[in-house]
Structure 1
């Protein structure tokens, strides 16, 4: 009996291609996200990291040109170094971890300071108030020529994020935008590829990176986590046992903004910062890899499945003689050493033939067959229900006993006498 449903078959023919296409697209997105460099990695665009996503090759190339490279791990430290070096270049390789507006607006920087920001996204620029627009993002960085009045080497792989600066200059097809914000010149680079060790040797990336960051001094803001933008607790809310520095007579207190006290209760856990949720405890690449592994396991499970749906009888591609089929099955059983299965097949066929010959139901027991055939029950049970053979010799002997039992029952002497008596003399 076939349980094939033509309607379901047609529906699967429509749904299955779209399902496979969706899995392919989703898997491609996961692989692409997994291959993206993580700004939270301590080696990401770090001037002292030799990894592929590091930037020690760029730092060495700048020093070879006589450019001093100073690494800063906080925005405050970076601003102090920039204020001490007029005309310096502040390099921000991870704008997602920096408040760009406060980086410029809260302090007065020397005239001629340049700030180079690599790979700024739309959410990074929305908080700045700069007169610049983010117009799109490519799948990967593209190497293009400068195509503007600024003398920059090319082609360079900077075209990933596209920018528009109405009051500035746009180069590399939108991959670089330069404009001024007060005394500071802002340079937005659409991709971090020219600054990475594994990409700096491609195209004219090294010449581009050293030109953009060139000058007398580069202050490298190396941040790999978001800085705490919240103000520190006032001394009145701190531990009373901690000493408070009193102003001396020679120093004058600098007036500052007064923060009104709040009525909020202290944080739980003795003032410790709250733990991040599980979704933020691991980088995005970890979750992308986890989802990709799950899809891979599902694909292996689907490939290893024997069938989808109910069994359907199909015609054989060619006719095979029964003797060859029997020999083929026998060799397979022999190779698998399936002695018990082989003997069970012989016993089942013998039981069916005996029941049909004796007029018994197909599920007749060995005792019923012995009673109808007039044989000893113990003998019939031993032949049809005996233990499994332990070797090939025992299997051959058991098979011969089954064959002899069938022959004895179906060709009994009384039947032979009746056949002989009925023959003409």
Structure 2
């Protein structure tokens, strides 16, 4: 016999409504647990998920607060790290400022007559493009150059660390530097060796014997090249300090046209990028191959089988009472009153059908009608007892269980006027379905 269950309440599952009698040993379908029980069993995972979500939100807040808005030294960036203040001043004085984020656009805008300011934050440009850019510009200003830029454009000029404080020793004959007179704190230094001095290079804003904040000389392409060690000379936050503004305006406003060039990812030459093998030491590949072989050998060694699996049948006997008590404890722990009542109803329907000699295909409606005729009860009340009524609390569950036992006893007495305890001759062990 099979049993079906309908949902009759938003907060609980409906009792079993079997259409046919179940076979011996059949059990009722599982009932969905209550929300309270689900939350109780899943509280550990819920806490872990909440911690992960809070951690992700915290990381997002920290990164959002620490990240500078906009690109550093961008001509349209009004943030402290941007350079919009300088660009607006230059435009007010008639300088045509062209913002460029690609190499080809910067070359076209330079046209051999403009000043080009280059800030390659991530050292994207290679030697070929740096040389081509120096040939296309009349004046080239390189801000915080990388190692490749110094080697390509200014041989003999080297990094020398950070300045010890504000600088006021000009130490050169560069006009914008002489008008500035001093620079603020936060400068980066370079040194100029003897070969570079002979080639026409000179340093400005000396920091003792440590180096210079600015260096100027001829570029390989013939342009006038100026190297500025730090972005603080041009940034919105520090341009008004000391003589930063005078130096920045003097360098970038030397011609009527200025190309403000910040290279982007598209300017990187993928053909010249080193391969993974070139970036890793020579011993890495043999070690990886050896580790791969060791993993395979260990898997074969530990995963080998010693023979076919042996199935041994063990005599196991579980008393029916113990099974019933265990299932009852599970129902009580999860507050599954409806499920517990379903099991009691299914057992009662099976036993009443057997006592009344009903066919195995008889549904609960037929069993309820037959039981009502045998006991003289109202058919509707018997049907409610066997299928319809839901237990709202433990008291109601106990009452329904007592009602089922009483109905079964009345059916038995109707068949045997002498009375007695209901028995099941087909299953003398007394097991419950």
Q: TM-score, normalised by structure 1?
A: 0.41
If asked which structure has higher relative contact order (CA below 8 Å, sep 6+), I would say 2
Highest CA radius of gyration, 1 or 2? 2
